[in-house]
Chains A and B, each alone.
Chain A
Amino acid sequence: MPPIDPASEEADAVRRLLEQAGERPSWRALERIADTPAFDAFVRRRHLSVTPMLAGTGRRRFLQVMAASFALGGLTGCDRDASSGYAEIVPYVNQPTGLTPTEPQSYASATLLDGIANGALVTTIDGRPIKIEGNPDHPWSRGGTDAFMQASVLGLYDPDRSQAVMHLTNPSDWDAFRGSMIGRFGALQANQGRGLRIMTGPVTSPSLVAMLRDMQKAMPEMHWHSHAPVGRDTIYEGARQAFGKPLDTIWDFSKAETIVSLDGDFLDPGPQQVGAAGRWIEARRNAARAGHLLGMHAAAPFPNLTYAKADHHAVVAQRDLVPLARALLADVSGETGAGDGPAMEWRTRAVQDLMKSRGRSIVVTGAHADPALHALVHRINAALGNLGSSVIYTDPVVVQAEPVESLLDAMERGEVSCLLILESNPVYSMPADARFGDRLKHVPLKIHAGLYQDETALRCDWHLPLTHPLESWGDARSPDGTATLIQPTIAPLYGGRSIPEILSMLQDTDPRGGHEILRSYWRRELGDDGFEAAWRDALLAGFVRDTAFQPQHVAVTASGAPNPAPAADGIDVLIRPDPTIWDGAFANNAWLQELPKPWTNTVWQNVLTLSPARAAKHGLKNRGLATVKAGGDAVTGPVWIVEGQHDDVVMVQLGYGRGTLGSVGSGIGFDAYALRSRLAPWTRHGATLHVASGERRVVTSQELEQQGGHDFVRLQPIGAKPVGDDTAFTQPTLYNRTAAESASDGRAWGMVIDLDACIGCNACVVACQSENNVPVVGEEQFAEGRSMHWLRVDHYRDDTSDHSHQRFMPVPCMHCETAPCELGCPVEATVHDHEGLNLMIYNRCVGTRACSSYCPYKVRHFNFLHYSEAPPAIQARRNPEVTVRARGVMEKCTYCVQRIVKARITADIDDRPIRDGEVVTACASACPTRAITFGDLADEQSAVASARKDPRNYALLGELNTRPRTTYLAALVPSDWKA
């Protein structure tokens, strides 16, 4: 029994009893004085579970209970009630159809980011979801994944997730919650829902929206608000300014010949990344095949991934973006006198290309850009005639609820009697000037449902554990509008319920389950005729066919007066979602925390990024602390210098500085929400930078970003002489090569990585971690240089003056044919197999680490400590096909040997060769741009063999005569590219 809270009703009861107890009560403990029939009854009423204890247990009673326990112990096996779940434990007599123990099952489902879906296939083994793959049939994501999707499976098992209904921070249960709500909700329903407010995160789910709309119909005075820390509000506001209504933009890169990005972010982390990157690279590949480059001109204050993949760069100040867009608009509209402006050289060239490809170009900006910039970009696209061809507009994918502003006012006025916060954490993620926590105090009944007992949960009367998308029924829309179905792959691990289930519990006399709610919605949508077949087809496919939004035919409205330009001095603070933990939603996900942030290579915390000149001006170095002040708000954090960033810009990332979350995400980084204001959520103008004393440890996966004159990443100017070569495989030798070249059973596994396609999104890194049970080592061990990522993405900046050209290079094990590591190992723990794989035999490894010392690529990782130790819940996630490595053992990329073996066995049973494409490594299957090709080099027809014949193909450090099986395709650059 938890101690009595002095402010609680129990304490009051005790106080009253003490007062009644006479003049001189003598007692040893409060329980003693409270031992009155009245108090007893009170306790019985309030705490049902302790009732038997109150009676006390005599010897006779004890013996009776024990005897009964022994006698009845075996009866659990007699439970015939299927609904209890125990009946399922009996071993199968008849195998359930389609289920073979240890055989992986794949279920089409979806993962969510900001409520927006990407199609996923969830691999489960023996009932445990262990891996996310892309759903190749999904019309938006087309089999690609991103790091968030890959890591979501770890989030499912997170033992720090909320595991119980909490009432006033005491554990309670669902029945108690429902019991205490029946009366209140009855009253609310009778009262038209006056005073009831529902606050959700961004919602795209058609069934949930229908449910909320039904509720509003039943309770017309109920309000539904949506709060999204990283929403699409600026996108919709921009469309409103240009077209008069909120719209989403879809880019058809296949119709484009030129892309101009004004701080665009379609290749950056976000719900659009998988689909947009896949379409972009497809178009770029087709263009390259046709002999030209699908060039991208990018101007941005911060070099994000989209900027990194551009071919022509200009660093512009944040405050110059709108003027630059205005000048571009004037240029492409044929207006003269746009005159000089920022990034003149870049602009001239971009305009040249745009004019050449009118109607076949795309101008983009970022999700967090000023709405005015969005509107200007729409106008430029309209002026170029791109609307409806390369730039398509659709209905907004996020359903527009009432804005949070009106909720804040209502809370302040005391008009909210019951606030239902569903999967949102406003106490943490509201702008500081919203003072949400203070306003929450005016609400008498606060109910929070979330995955974690987060900041908001602690301030609410009730906290309800939500189910993870991998354990619940649901649906959500993809960026193109495709309604994607979410199938549970496991029963709720921690007793959570989904949002529709909670809503049903509150208003229905007979609460419905998530499956029933979803089915009944779609039955209504798809019609009763042939519903079962259609439903089955939708579940198998993972989405409801033909639900993508239709293109809208829109025309730009007359432009209003331009917004006043922001003050032209001071620093602009860019507030952006973190590339790995987003708005904080993934803060307790260790895979994502340990994933190097693509542009700073830092892990485990956020930083203030500065340009080298700005840092020099303030005498700041990497890791030195600095304070950014904007208005009355300030944050202090460690500095990280990013080359190619504008001098008047500081970028901060959201999601850190969590006080109470879990064992992974608490107490790291600083809270950048403190800098946000309601009016300027993404940019604060006129900020100042101050040097703070001290340093903070910032851990990086790669300190050096210069190639030092080497061509590790080769660049292929389009149309120029091929830069690839096969010198790595034609080195003179005294040895007989035939053994390595012709494998005994005719297979030779190899991998080709297209550096032009790699956008540095890190999906492959997390996919590898997930597939191969790669442990997380934590910030301290990472700082020691002991990261375990089998696959890393090297990040280089070209040795040019402004370092704005960035290159990403995924580095797995090269599986060298003449592997230096194999020479070093004294115990034959790393050897070659007959198909050319460089194997690692964990149980033979004694840990001399010679193989790592001998490896020129340094792709080997050592279990310096017992890294694989993890809570049981995390262990349940592990892939049973892959050995969990012990302390003192070396490990490295195996080319997902377990997948190869599986394919080999299947092929052998069918007595046929392994088909090309039958083995896909985890990294290759995760890649949204299909940068990685894997297969049998000995098979002339295979994709990997033809990729190797690409004139861009070359080997990393091939001159060492390691004859690597992993080779690279040089990145494409414009024909007039100069180093």
Chain B
Amino acid sequence: MATRAVSYGKAAYLRSTPADKAIGPQVARIAFQHPSQTRWLIAFAGSAGLMLWLAVALGWLFYWGIGVWGNNIPVAWALDIVSYDWWMGNACGAILFSAVLLLFRQYWRGALNRIADTIAVLSAAAAGIYPIVHLGRPWFFYWNLPYPNNLGLWPQFRSPLVWDAFDIISFLIVAVLLWYVGMIPDLATLRDRAPWSRRKLVYGAAAVGWRGSAVHWARWIQTCRILALLAALQALCTQTGAAVMYAGTVEPGWHDTLLPAFFIANAIFSGIGVIAVIAALVRYLYPVSDLITRDHLDLLARLLLAAGLMSTYFYCADFFFTALGGDNFDRSVMMRRFTGEYAISFWLIVGASLLPIHLLWFRSVRRSSLLLGALGALVAVAMWSDHFMVLVVTQHRDFLPSSQSFYMTSFWAASTFAGTVGLFGVLLLLALRYLPVASIVDTRLSIRVQTET
């Protein structure tokens, strides 16, 4: 299988084509020796602080109720669902990147797929707290799930929220499996190279007896492909499911068949943006610039540009159909997106993502770690803003002018979101420090493909 690779522009992604055997030690050194300890510690301390603040914010929330957030009627869903959708968008975008490249046998993904898979898992974890904590009575969260009970009560299966609960659970399972199974051979490498016994034990347990036999490899490759296929489908389901939460209503600006596709496009855009940010961060933290090369960044940037163009197309299509559709309420919502109280969220999308991505037409920008990372961050911010716009602009005034009410976020709502960023950061930094930051196996495959062609 490894003998045929699709030539993608330039075949050589790894500049110096290092020897096969050098990859393992290089990646293992990061896990064992922790270079850039100070930088890592600073980042970790910041993230851990935010994560502790999340605990405080959730404590406050559970004590007082949802009222500590700024949510109101009509804006019943605000920063909670905005953040949830954004995290899930990142997760789906990242896992689509990893899974689709695997299915299309793009071995250069080895440099970035570990990062992408980790983002998918951790974003989903950060998102996963919201469906529970945003409930008015979070202690009954399990009523959303079908389970045998003496009341004979089931969830209401027509509700998109039920399917969303299923979605996030199955997404977490698939994402963790893809991430973990894909990592098993690398964990075995770390086990073999671990300098002392306790580490050997931990990595050995994690490597679940991987011996590198031909049967192992065959099964592993099969499993990875199956999981990748499942992950891709799951990502599509999750995003369309999240979109149907809105498209399934009669609300103006939501009731739209375009919305599920729009959500997928924006998820990919956002996910690749976050991958760019984390890739830049990893290159800054660790000596991996010969593993995650500028050629990789270039490819990532092209994907980001493509996703951005796709997203732009959807925005245009949305405006076009709304304007053409002739529904007065829909058009009013569109006008409020452009000029209303929350117009900043729309112009942030344009100004932070749809316009700046055109810098990526320039080769030098594509190949700059800093610029690409910054653009990725802008895109992520813009996609957060998109979710804010979709939710808040429609809700704060839908049909009756009398029910208009503005939404002001609160300190505690913002704290909760910042806390989920902290949670993501802590877990990500731990993963970067103790797990192989790049896929050793896939990088080796990539070198082989490179040398063979």
Whether A and B are associated in the same complex: the answer reads yes
Inter-chain contact A862/B73, CB cutoff 8 Å? yes
Q: Provide the bound-state CA to CA distance between A702 and B397, in Å.
A: 12
Inter-chain contact B250/A856, CB cutoff 8 Å? yes
Provide the residues of chain A in CB contact with B72, threshold 8 Å.
Answer: 784-786, 864
Q: Provide the bound-state CA to CA distance between A350 and B404, in Å.
A: 38
Provide the residues of chain A in CB contact with B162, threshold 8 Å.
Answer: 826
Q: Provide the bound-state CA to CA distance between A20 and B66, in Å.
A: 67
Confirm or deny: B64 has a beta carbon within 8 angstroms of a beta carbon on chain A: yes
Interface of A is mostly: loop
Interface residues in B375-409 (C-beta closer than 8 Å to A):
395, 397-408
The answer, among A794, A846, A957, for a CB contact under 8 Å with B140, is A846
Provide the residues of chain B in CB contact with A850, threshold 8 Å.
Answer: 76, 159, 161, 245
Q: How far is the CB of B306 from chain A (nearest CB, A)?
A: 33
- Which stretch in B150-158, B223-231, B279-287, B310-318 binds the other chain? B150-158
Q: Give 10 nearest A-B pairs by CB, closest first.
A: A847-B136, A888-B136, A785-B72, A864-B67, A785-B405, A865-B67, A849-B76, A858-B403, A826-B161, A794-B402
Inter-chain contact A864/B402, CB cutoff 8 Å? no
What are 13 A-B contacts defined by CB distance under 8 Å? A785-B406, A811-B402, A820-B250, A823-B159, A824-B161, A828-B153, A845-B136, A853-B251, A854-B250, A854-B251, A887-B65, A890-B136, A962-B250
Nearest chain-B residue to A823 (Cβ)? Answer: B158
The answer, among B66, B77, B328, B408, for a CB contact under 8 Å with A888, is B66
Provide the residues of chain B in CB contact with A887, threshold 8 Å.
Answer: 65, 136-137
Provide the residues of chain B in CB contact with A852, threshold 8 Å.
Answer: 73-74, 76
A786-B402 contact given A826-B165, A827-B144, A862-B73, CB 8 Å threshold: no
The proximity string for A residues 847-884 relative to B, scoring 1 for CB distances below 8 Å and 0 otherwise, is 11110111011101111111000000000000000000
Inter-chain contact A706/B159, CB cutoff 8 Å? no
Provide the residues of chain B in CB contact with A168, threshold 8 Å.
Answer: none
Q: Provide the bound-state CA to CA distance between A204 and B427, in Å.
A: 77
The answer, among A784, A796, A888, for a CB contact under 8 Å with B402, is A796
Confirm or deny: B141 has a beta carbon within 8 angstroms of a beta carbon on chain A: yes
Inter-chain contact A710/B328, CB cutoff 8 Å? yes
Provide the residues of chain B in CB contact with A957, threshold 8 Å.
Answer: 399-400
Confirm or deny: A703 has a beta carbon within 8 angstroms of a beta carbon on chain B: yes
Confirm or deny: B355 has a beta carbon within 8 angstroms of a beta carbon on chain A: no
Most chain B CB within 10 A, of A704, A786, A857, A864, is at A864
A846-B71 contact given A824-B159, A825-B159, A826-B165, CB 8 Å threshold: no
A858-B74 contact given A853-B249, A960-B250, CB 8 Å threshold: yes
Nearest chain-B residue to A710 (Cβ)? Answer: B328
Confirm or deny: A889 has a beta carbon within 8 angstroms of a beta carbon on chain B: yes
Q: How far is the CB of B252 from chain A (nearest CB, A)?
A: 9
Provide the residues of chain A in CB contact with B236, threshold 8 Å.
Answer: none
Provide the residues of chain B in CB contact with A889, threshold 8 Å.
Answer: 136-137
Q: Provide the bound-state CA to CA distance between A705 and B400, in Å.
A: 10
Confirm or deny: B369 has a beta carbon within 8 angstroms of a beta carbon on chain A: no
Provide the residues of chain A in CB contact with B134, threshold 8 Å.
Answer: 848
Q: How many residues of A contact B (CB 8 A)?
A: 59
Q: Provide the bound-state CA to CA distance between A706 and B402, in Å.
A: 9
Q: Provide the bound-state CA to CA distance between A769 and B361, in Å.
A: 62
Most chain B CB within 10 A, of A824, A858, A962, is at A858
Q: How far is the CB of B28 from chain A (nearest CB, A)?
A: 46
Confirm or deny: B135 has a beta carbon within 8 angstroms of a beta carbon on chain A: yes
Inter-chain contact B135/A846, CB cutoff 8 Å? yes
Confirm or deny: A792 has a beta carbon within 8 angstroms of a beta carbon on chain B: yes
Confirm or deny: B321 has a beta carbon within 8 angstroms of a beta carbon on chain A: no
Provide the residues of chain B in CB contact with A960, threshold 8 Å.
Answer: 250, 399
Confirm or deny: B447 has a beta carbon within 8 angstroms of a beta carbon on chain A: no
Inter-chain contact B400/A853, CB cutoff 8 Å? no
Q: How far is the CB of A529 from chain B (nearest CB, A)?
A: 59
Provide the residues of chain A in CB contact with B64, threshold 8 Å.
Answer: 865
Confirm or deny: B75 has a beta carbon within 8 angstroms of a beta carbon on chain A: yes
The proximity string for B residues 43-75 relative to A, scoring 1 for CB distances below 8 Å and 0 otherwise, is 000000000000000000000111100111111
Nearest chain-B residue to A888 (Cβ)? Answer: B136
Q: Provide the bound-state CA to CA distance between A827 and B155, in Å.
A: 5
Provide the residues of chain A in CB contact with B66, threshold 8 Å.
Answer: 847, 862, 864-865, 888
Provide the residues of chain B in CB contact with A861, threshold 8 Å.
Answer: 73
Nearest chain-A residue to B66 (Cβ)? Answer: A864
Q: Provide the bound-state CA to CA distance between A796 and B404, in Å.
A: 13
Confirm or deny: A844 has a beta carbon within 8 angstroms of a beta carbon on chain B: yes
Q: How far is the CB of A765 from chain B (nearest CB, A)?
A: 14
Q: How far is the CB of A828 from chain B (nearest CB, A)?
A: 4
Inter-chain contact B77/A828, CB cutoff 8 Å? no
B binding-site residues for A, Cβ under 8 Å = 64-67, 70-77, 134-138, 140-141, 143-144, 153-156, 158-162, 165, 245, 248-251, 328, 332, 395, 397-408
Q: Provide the bound-state CA to CA distance between A707 and B399, in Å.
A: 10
Inter-chain contact B402/A826, CB cutoff 8 Å? no
Provide the residues of chain B in CB contact with A849, threshold 8 Å.
Answer: 71, 76-77, 136
Inter-chain contact A846/B141, CB cutoff 8 Å? yes
Other than A785-B407, A827-B156, give 17 A-B pairs with Cβ distance below 8 A.
A702-B402, A704-B397, A784-B70, A785-B405, A809-B402, A823-B158, A823-B159, A825-B156, A826-B144, A844-B153, A846-B137, A846-B141, A856-B398, A856-B399, A857-B400, A857-B403, A858-B400
Inter-chain contact B402/A792, CB cutoff 8 Å? yes
Provide the residues of chain A in CB contact with B332, threshold 8 Å.
Answer: 708
Inter-chain contact A854/B249, CB cutoff 8 Å? yes
Inter-chain contact B137/A847, CB cutoff 8 Å? yes
Confirm or deny: A37 has a beta carbon within 8 angstroms of a beta carbon on chain B: no
Q: How far is the CB of B73 from chain A (nearest CB, A)?
A: 6
A846-B143 contact given A785-B72, A826-B161, A888-B135, CB 8 Å threshold: yes
Q: How far is the CB of B82 from chain A (nearest CB, A)?
A: 13
A709-B328 contact given A785-B75, A858-B73, A864-B72, CB 8 Å threshold: yes
Provide the residues of chain B in CB contact with A684, threshold 8 Å.
Answer: none
Interface residues in A772-822 (C-beta closer than 8 Å to B):
781, 784-787, 792, 794-796, 809, 811, 820, 822
The answer, among A702, A784, A820, A845, for a CB contact under 8 Å with B249, is A820
Q: Provide the bound-state CA to CA distance between A777 and B102, in Å.
A: 55
Inter-chain contact B402/A862, CB cutoff 8 Å? no
Provide the residues of chain B in CB contact with A825, threshold 8 Å.
Answer: 156, 159, 161
The answer, among B65, B158, B399, for a CB contact under 8 Å with A863, is B65
Provide the residues of chain B in CB contact with A886, threshold 8 Å.
Answer: 137
Confirm or deny: A436 has a beta carbon within 8 angstroms of a beta carbon on chain B: no
Inter-chain contact B65/A866, CB cutoff 8 Å? yes
Q: How far is the CB of A66 from chain B (nearest CB, A)?
A: 42
Q: Provide the bound-state CA to CA distance between A886 and B66, in Å.
A: 12
Q: Provide the bound-state CA to CA distance between A820 and B247, in Å.
A: 12
Inter-chain contact A846/B144, CB cutoff 8 Å? yes
Q: Provide the bound-state CA to CA distance between A708 and B165, in Å.
A: 38
Nearest chain-B residue to A854 (Cβ)? Answer: B249
Inter-chain contact A862/B76, CB cutoff 8 Å? yes
Interface residues in A883-906 (C-beta closer than 8 Å to B):
886-890
